[in-house]
Amino acid sequence: MDKKETQFTSTELQTLAELIFPNWQKLPSLEELDKRYPKRELPFGAIVNRVAPSPTGMMHIGGLYVALVNRRLAKQTQGVFFLRIEDTDQERAVVGAYETIVNSLADYGLSPDEGPMHNSDGEIVEEGNYGPYVQTSRKEIYHACAFDMLKRGAIYPCFMTKEELDKQREEQQKLEVRTGVYKEWALGRYLSFQEIESKIKAGIPYVLRLRALGEIDKTISWEDEIRGTLTVPENIVDTVLIKSDGIPTYHFAHLVDDHFMRTTHIIRADEWISSVPLHLQLFSAMGWEPPFYTHVSAIQKMAETGKRKLSKRHDPEASVSYYWENGFPRQAVIEYLLNLANSEFEDWRRVNPTSDYTEFRISLGKMGQAGPLADLIKLESISRDILSRMPIEALYKVSYAWAFTYDKELAEEMAKDPLYSQRALDIERDSEKGAKRLSTLKDLRPQLAPFFDHFLPPANELPFPDNVKAEDRKAILELVKERFKDSDPPEQFFENLKLISAELGFAGAVKDFKKNPQMYKGHVGDVASIVRVAMFGSTRSPDLGQVLKVLGNQTVVNRCNRAISVN
Ligand code: GLU
C-alpha cells in the first residue's frame, strides 16, 4: 500500500472529537480532573497500589494472593491499598461476583483503604476520595480523556466490521505477516475527514483506536521488581481503547484509573506482562508518568502432566471459597499464601510464633519468578499449628463460625454452653498429640460431638469390648459414679481407677496382669475402656481424666446410669 495516512488540521480534529462526544461541554477537562484527584500527600516511599478484579464469577485464590502482597506492601510503606472493580466487560459480568470480591477480602482481613467495603452495618459502600471505584461509574472520566486524545489525533475512529477484520486476518496469514490492526492495515488511519464525518452522522458503528507510535524494530525496557529488566519490542498495534458502546477496554480504563487514582505501583498477575509496552505507550501518549509495573507469577499445581497454573475450571482449590468450606481457618490461608510469596516467612514464623503475621515484612524481590507450587499438605500443617496456637476464645469463635455454616447440628450444641465447648476443645491442646487432632475445622465434629449427649450412640449400641462381663461393667460404672468428683485434678481419676480395678478383681497395673493373668479378670486398661465407652461413646478418647472433668459430675452420673441400663 502506498497510500498516505490522513493528516488532519486541529480544527478538523476538534470537529470530529465534538461529533464523537456530543456532550463534550459537560465533560470535565483534564485540568479539572487533576484538581479533583490531586497527587496524594504521603510519606516518601509510600506505595499506592490496588487490586482490580473483574466481577466475573468466583474469587480466585490467585486474586487473594495478589491482594495480600499489594496490601502488605502498601501498609509497610504507609501507603494506600485500594480496590477497583473492573466491570467494563459487561458480557462477562456475573451477578453476585462484586459482593463475593468485597466479602472475600473482608473475610481474609484484606479490606482496602479505599474502594468498595463494608460499613459498620455490613452494607457495601464506597469509601475514598479517588472514586468512583467501579469502572462502569467512571464513563465520564474515560470520555474526558478520550476527548482530549481525539483532539490531539492520538486516537481515531475505526469503522472496520468484524467481517473486514476477519478477512484482513486471513490475508495477513496468507502473506505470513503479523496479524492485527497496525500501520497500513489500520484502515481507519486512511479515512478522510469527510468520510469519517459522514459515517458517524450515518450512525455507522465504530471503535476508538490508539494511533500506535511504536516501531517493530525498536524495543522498550522496564524494571520489573520480580523479573528484573524486561526488554520487548514496542507496541505497534492500534489497540481498541473505546468500544462501539462507548465503554473503555481494560487497557484504556487502566491508564485513566491508575493515573487519576494516583497508583504508584501496579503489582498484578503475570498474564499482563505482554500488555506493558502498550500501557507504557498509553501513559506516554497522555504525557503522564507511568507507574512501576511488577508481575506476580501465578500459583502452580503439580498435575499428572507436570506443573501448570491452578485452573478455575479443573481445580476446586483455585476458588477462595474452597478453603473455608474445607475448614481451613482464614489465618492459615493467609500464612500459607505468605509462604508462597516469600519462603522466608516460615523461618520468621518459627522464630516469632506468637507475632501477628503483619509484623513480617514482605518483599517483592524475594518472590520467585517461577510460580509457587500449591501445597495443600503444607496448608494443613500451617492450619494445625495455628489452631493449636490460637487462644481458646478465638478457637471457639472460629469453630463456631465454621460449624454455623457447615455443621449446624454441632453449632447448635456448641452455642448452648460456649464455655463447656471451650473446655472440651482445650483438652490436651498443649501436647503434640492433642494438637494433631485438629488439623482443620472439619475435625471439629469427631473432637467435640462426644461431649454432647445429642451425638452419643444409643445406649445399646455402645461399643463395649467383650472381654469384660456385663456385671463387671456395671460394677465399674457404679463405682465411678460414686467416686468421681469434677473438683479433683484430672490425674486423680487414674488413681481412682486403679483402686476400682483392685476392688473388682482387675490388676491395677498392666505389668502385674501380664505376670499372672490367671489371677485377674483383666487389668486397669480394660477398666478404663469401659469408662471410655460409657463416657465418650467410643473406644478412643483424649485423656479420660480430663474428659470426665469437662463432662462434670452430673453428666458423668447420667452417662454411667445410661450405660448401666444396658444388658
Ligand atoms: N481486571 C484485571 C484482571 O482481573 C486487572 C489487572 C490489573 O491488575 O491491572 O486481571
For residue 433, the model assigns a pLDDT of: 83
Q: Beta strand 228-233 with 219-224: parallel, antiparallel or unpaired?
A: antiparallel
Q: Is the CB of 264 under 6 A from ligand 1?
A: no
How close is the Cα of 268 to the center of ligand 1, in Å?
Answer: 7
Secondary structure of 90-142 as H, E, C letters? HHHCCCCHHHHHHHHHHHCCCCCCEEEEECCCCCEEEECCCCCCEHHHCHHHH
What is the per-residue pLDDT across 311-348, written as a single tens digit (0 to 9) for each? 988 999 999 999 999 999 999 999 999 999 999 999 99
> Is the pLDDT score of 104 beyond 60?
yes
Looking at CATH, the fold of the domain delimited by 301-362+372-389 is given as Glutamyl-tRNA Synthetase; domain 2 (1.10.1160)
Q: What is the mean pLDDT of residues 483-493?
A: 95
Exposed / middle / buried, residue 353 (Cβ in 10 Å: 0-12, 13-18, 19+): exposed
What's the chain's average pLDDT?
Answer: 96
What is the per-residue pLDDT across 7-65, written as a single tens digit (0 to 9) for each? 999 999 999 999 999 999 999 999 999 999 999 999 999 999 999 999 999 999 999 99
Q: What is the mean pLDDT of residues 411-433?
A: 94
Atom number, ligand 1, closest to the C-alpha of residue 268: 8
pTM: 0.93
What is the per-residue pLDDT across 146-189, written as a single tens digit (0 to 9) for each? 999 999 999 999 999 999 999 999 999 999 999 999 999 999 99
* Other beta carbons less than 10 A from residue 559's beta carbon: 25
Q: Is the CB of 52 under 6 A from ligand 1?
A: yes
Q: C-alpha cell of 388?
A: 493449636
CA 101 to chain CA centroid, nearest Å: 9
CATH of region 456-567? 1.10.10.350
> Is the pLDDT score of 1 beyond 60?
no
For residue 300, the model assigns a pLDDT of: 96
CA 313 to chain CA centroid, nearest Å: 17
Identify which of 86, 257, 294 to mutate to test ligand 1's pocket (most ligand atoms within 8 A of the CB).
Answer: 86
Alpha-carbon torsion angle 29, 30, 32, 33, nearest 10: 120
How close is the Cα of 102 to the center of ligand 1, in Å?
Answer: 15
Place of cell 470520555: 143
**pLDDT above 70 as % of the chain:** 100
What is the per-residue pLDDT across 457-483, written as a single tens digit (0 to 9) for each? 999 999 999 999 999 999 999 999 999
Q: Is the CB of 115 under 6 A from ligand 1?
A: no
Secondary structure of 239-269 as H, E, C letters? CEEECCCCCECHHHHHHHHHHHCCCCEEEEE
- In 3-state terms, what secondary structure has residue 357? helix
The residue that leads in pLDDT, 429 or 149, is: 149
Q: What is the mean pLDDT of residues 527-535?
A: 97
Contacts of 86 by beta carbon, 8 Å cutoff, 6+ apart: 52, 53, 54, 135, 250, 253
Read out DSSP for 300-338?
A: EEEETTEEEE--TTT-GGGBHHHHHHTT--HHHHHHHHH
Q: Is the CB of 272 under 6 A from ligand 1?
A: yes
For residue 2, the model assigns a pLDDT of: 61
Q: Whose CA is nearest to atom 3 of ligand 1?
A: 53
CATH architecture, domain defined by 10-27+139-296: 3-Layer(aba) Sandwich (3.40)
Q: What is the mean pLDDT of residues 426-440?
A: 89
How many angstroms separate the CA atoms of 424 and 547, rounded? Answer: 7
Q: Beta strand 228-233 with 240-242: parallel, antiparallel or unpaired?
A: unpaired
Q: What is the mean pLDDT of residues 290-303?
A: 96
Q: What is the mean pLDDT of residues 489-499?
A: 94
Exposed / middle / buried, residue 129 (Cβ in 10 Å: 0-12, 13-18, 19+): exposed
How close is the Cα of 323 to the center of ligand 1, in Å?
Answer: 23
Contacts of 414 by beta carbon, 8 Å cutoff, 6+ apart: 396, 399, 400, 403, 421, 448
What is the per-residue pLDDT across 213-272, written as a single tens digit (0 to 9) for each? 999 899 999 999 999 999 999 999 999 999 999 999 999 999 999 999 999 999 999 999
What is the per-residue pLDDT across 68-100, written as a single tens digit (0 to 9) for each? 999 999 999 999 999 999 999 988 889 999 999
What is the per-residue pLDDT across 534-547, written as a single tens digit (0 to 9) for each? 999 999 999 999 99
**pLDDT above 90 as % of the chain:** 95
Alpha-carbon torsion angle 536, 538, 543, 545, nearest 10: 40
For residue 479, the model assigns a pLDDT of: 97
Rounded to the nearest 5 percent, the helix, strand and coil shares of the chain are 55, 10, 35
> Is the pLDDT score of 430 beyond 90?
no
For residue 435, the model assigns a pLDDT of: 80
Q: Whose CA is nearest to atom 10 of ligand 1?
A: 53
Q: What is the mean pLDDT of residues 475-504?
A: 96
Q: Is the CB of 254 under 6 A from ligand 1?
A: yes
- HSE toward the beta carbon, residue 131, CA cutoff 13 A: 18
Q: What is the mean pLDDT of residues 438-459?
A: 96
How close is the Cα of 549 to the center of ligand 1, in Å?
Answer: 55
Q: Whose CA is nearest to atom 5 of ligand 1?
A: 52
Report the helix count and the strand count for the chain, using DSSP H and E: 23, 13
Atom number, ligand 1, closest to the C-alpha of residue 86: 1
Q: Where are the domains of the chain?
A: 10-27+139-296, 301-362+372-389, 390-451, 456-567
How many angstroms separate the CA atoms of 29 and 387, rounded? Answer: 55
